[in-house]
Amino acid sequence: MGAPAVLQHFNSDTGGGYPSGGLIQGTDGALYGTESGGRSGNGTAFKLNRDGSGYTVLQNFDHDTTGAYIEAGLVQGTGGVLYGVAT
């Protein structure tokens, strides 16, 4: 096992900040997680390739329609669907 590596620098101005749950590895091999910053400060769900490339915000939470303040990490259900908890 090699030394730890930084895969993503989170920056609240570019859609991320304050990781708030562990990462999971999806059935597609990518890493998925949540953080409590994001565009509106209400959190995001994101995808990241294992080599650190391909960081993508999957969902910007907006408090009014999609919830906010991520409470835990994600789980992957049948068919690759991701589930999480937000208030």
Domain coordinates in residue numbering, the chain: 16-83
State the pLDDT at residue 62: 85
Question: Band of the pLDDT at 32, cuts 50, 70, 90?
Answer: very high
Prediction pTM value: 0.84
Taking alpha carbons only, the member of 39, 41, 33, 35 closest to residue 70 is: 35
Residue 27 has pLDDT above 80, yes or no: yes
Between CA 18 and CA 2 the distance in angstroms is 25
Task: Give Cβ neighbours of residue 7 (< 8 Å, ≥ 6 apart).
Answer: 31, 48, 50, 51, 52
